[in-house]
């Protein structure tokens, strides 16, 4: 730069190279085309829109006051939902641990196995919890068993990915010390990796449990048990005063779990 | 010397921790209790495995009849449209919301109002929001778009507010010291610091909307979910498998594309 100033040549400085700018413009153009294409081709029935405000008003008017006679059904559904979320999370932790070990490149030194583990993790995350629930309802019949498995299978991807990354970030020192002492592989895992991974393991578990409480609340819509069954019954019967009670319950529980998890997180981690 | 040495050699390198063991035992007891509440039994599981075999048998091979493929393409395109529009509008609305919610730029009453709104938007699962929108604007893609707009506003708004709270105030103060107005401070002092992370949030949200747009159809919100649910209810399990494979393929493809886009903006 000093040479440029001394020789009197003026250079125009730009923050990004030509390639970078072209790449950015390409992304902008593609996004604009995608948005315009979606706006022009998406199917919207205008007749439905005219009475939307009236329909919304009608919805809230019908919800209030809540129908408290429905409360016992809601409560038992709620208990089922909480157990589904917790049990599903625990099952996911158990199932995700081996996949995470396979995905961690410092433990499994085989690219093919790493890729296989990644395929499992991506598939688990791509299929939505409601769709997992549909599949398990077809296999195990309606009920909380299908819901628990849906929550577990959906969470494997999330837990496995984060856990695999935590394992990859583990420091080599303790591992090398154990290897030098002649420790068997299982001891290296338990005494070398586990203490390093444990904090992030429980933090991931807590985070996922929080998400799973929300998710398991809707599984009942496809017959997989929990408070969603009560919601489905209420909305199918157009008993909006019962649906309102269910929604208020879900709202309260979600807010409470968020408070509880943030308390635990700030205390332990 | 001779008294301390034996105790040293006898010390267990990994002493048993009874508190931890008790906690593990409690966990096991809870699992047994919860399984009994949910009526999860081994017998049911075994019956299910038998059923699962039949189920998989009916799923395979995936159905690729021209008529079904056309239905699936239409549904998937609608899902893509839902995801794109929900992300575009959701992010557009999340920008001002996140800005107001950032505690370092706005007065407390404004930021707390915006924070409460974000928390409210995030509370309900998109499917529940979709049910309410289906009632409000009728069946179809619009209800799905609106439901995902709500989800996007909540999530991106929260992340955006956090990103703004982490910026360095030095640049903001420097711009302010020149006598710049609020808008100039935003454009020159705040946005350059958060732009790169913001692109990351948009890509993440598009990814998440794409996943969720496959699901809102189950409650009448349009997209591939509607096609999937119809096929499921008609016991066309081979079509269900085709749809699942298409969903997984598209989401994996998008993961590849999104890492590319992220690189462009780094």
Q: What is the mean pLDDT of chain B?
A: 85
Q: Is the pLDDT of residue A206 over 50?
A: yes
Using alpha carbons, select from A84, A65, A231, A155 the residue that is nearest to residue B132: A231
Helix or strand or coil: residue A52?
Answer: helix
Q: Is the pLDDT of residue A10 over 80?
A: no
B217-239 tens-digit pLDDT: 888 888 898 898 888 888 888 88
Are B26 and B76 in the same domain?
Answer: no
The complex's ipTM?
0.79
Are A127 and A34 in the same domain?
Answer: no
B81-119 tens-digit pLDDT: 999 999 999 999 999 999 899 888 888 888 899 989 998
Tell me if A121 is assigned to some domain.
yes
Are A153 and A24 in the same domain?
Answer: no
Q: How far is CA A93 from the centre of its chain?
A: 14
Averaged pLDDT, A179-201:
88
Are B119 and B31 in the same domain?
Answer: no
Are B84 and B186 in the same domain?
Answer: yes
Give residue A162's pLDDT band: very low, low, confident or very high (50, 70, 90): very high
Are B79 and B44 in the same domain?
Answer: no
Domain that holds residue B23: 19-59
Q: How would DSSP label each residue in A195-221?
A: HHHHHHHHHHHHHHHHHHHHHHTTGGG
Are A227 and A94 in the same domain?
Answer: yes
Tell me if B104 is assigned to some domain.
yes
Are A73 and A33 in the same domain?
Answer: no
Are B149 and B169 in the same domain?
Answer: yes
Q: What residue of A is the nearest CA neighbor of B226? A: A131
B143-161 tens-digit pLDDT: 999 999 999 999 999 999 8
Domain that holds residue A18: 11-41
Are B72 and B204 in the same domain?
Answer: yes
A87-131 tens-digit pLDDT: 999 999 999 999 999 998 888 888 899 999 988 998 888 888 888
Tell me if A4 is assigned to some domain.
no
Tell me if B11 is assigned to some domain.
no
Q: What is the mean pLDDT of chain A?
A: 86
Answer whether B31 sits within 8 Å of A79, measured CB to CB.
no
Contacts with A222 from chain B: Cβ below 8 Å:
218
- The number of domains in chain A is 2
- The number of domains in chain B is 2
Are B37 and B152 in the same domain?
Answer: no
Q: Is the pLDDT of residue B69 over 80?
A: yes
Helix or strand or coil: residue A238?
Answer: coil
Contacts with A87 from chain B: Cβ below 8 Å:
31, 34-35, 38, 40
Distance of CA A237 to CAs A55, A230, A232, A233, A234, Å?
17, 11, 8, 6, 5
A residues 54..113 contacting B (CB < 8 A): 55-56, 59, 79-80, 83-84, 86-87, 90
């Amino acid at each position: 730069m000093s040479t440029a100033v001394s020789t009197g040549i003026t250079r125009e400085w730009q923050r990004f190279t030509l390639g970078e700018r072209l790449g950015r413009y390409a992304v902008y153009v593609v996004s604009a085309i995608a948005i315009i294409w979606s706006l022009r081709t998406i199917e919207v029935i205008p007749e439905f829109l005219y009475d939307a405000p009236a329909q919304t008003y009608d919805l809230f008017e019908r919800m209030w006051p809540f129908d408290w006679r429905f409360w016992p059904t809601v409560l038992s559904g709620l208990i089922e939902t909480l157990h589904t979320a917790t049990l599903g999370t625990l099952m996911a932790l158990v199932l995700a641990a081996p996949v995470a070990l396979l995905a961690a490149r410092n433990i499994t030194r085989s690219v093919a196995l790493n890729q296989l583990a990644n395929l499992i993790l991506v598939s688990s995350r791509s299929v939505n919890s409601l769709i997992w629930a549909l599949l398990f309802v077809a296999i195990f019949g309606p009920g909380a068993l299908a819901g628990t498995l849906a929550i577990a299978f959906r969470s494997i991807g999330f837990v496995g990915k984060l856990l695999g990354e935590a394992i990859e970030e583990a420091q080599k020192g303790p591992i090398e010390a154990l290897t030098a002492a002649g420790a068997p592989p299982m001891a290296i895992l338990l005494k070398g990796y586990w203490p390093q991974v444990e904090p992030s393991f429980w933090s991931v578990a807590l985070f996922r449990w929080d998400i799973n409480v929300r998710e398991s609340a809707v599984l009942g819509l496809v017959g997989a048990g929990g408070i969603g069954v009560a919601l489905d019954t209420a909305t199918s019967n157009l008993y909006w005063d019962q649906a309102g009670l269910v929604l208020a319950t879900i709202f309260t529980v979600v807010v409470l779990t968020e408070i509880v998890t943030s308390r635990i997180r700030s205390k332990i981690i | 010397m001779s008294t301390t040495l034996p105790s040293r050699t006898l010390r267990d390198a990994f002493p048993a921790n009874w508190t931890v063991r008790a906690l593990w035992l409690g966990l096991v007891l809870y699992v047994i209790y919860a399984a009994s509440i949910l009526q999860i039994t081994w017998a049911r599981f075994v019956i299910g495995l038998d059923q699962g075999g039949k189920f998989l048998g009916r799923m395979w091979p995936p159905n690729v009849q021209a008529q079904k493929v056309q239905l699936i393409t239409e549904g998937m395109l609608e899902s893509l449209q839902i995801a794109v529009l929900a992300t575009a509008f959701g992010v557009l609305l999340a920008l001002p919301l996140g800005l107001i919610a950032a505690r370092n730029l706005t007065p407390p009453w404004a930021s707390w109002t915006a924070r409460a709104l974000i928390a409210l938007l995030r509370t309900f699962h998109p499917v529940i929001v979709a049910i309410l929108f289906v009632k409000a604007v009728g069946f179809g893609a619009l209800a799905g778009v609106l439901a995902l707009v709500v989800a996007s506003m909540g999530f991106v708004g929260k992340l955006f507010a956090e990103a703004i709270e982490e910026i360095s105030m030095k640049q903001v103060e420097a711009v302010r010291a020149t006598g710049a107005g609020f808008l100039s401070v935003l454009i020159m002092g705040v946005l350059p610091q958060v732009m790169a992370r913001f692109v990351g949030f948009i890509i993440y949200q598009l990814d998440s909307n794409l996943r969720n747009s496959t699901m809102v159809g189950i409650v009448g919100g349009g997209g591939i979910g509607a096609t999937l649910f119809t096929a499921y209810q008609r016991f066309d399990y081979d079509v269900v498998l085709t749809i699942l494979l298409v969903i997984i393929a598209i989401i994996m493809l998008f993961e590849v594309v999104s890492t590319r886009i992220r690189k462009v903006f780094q």
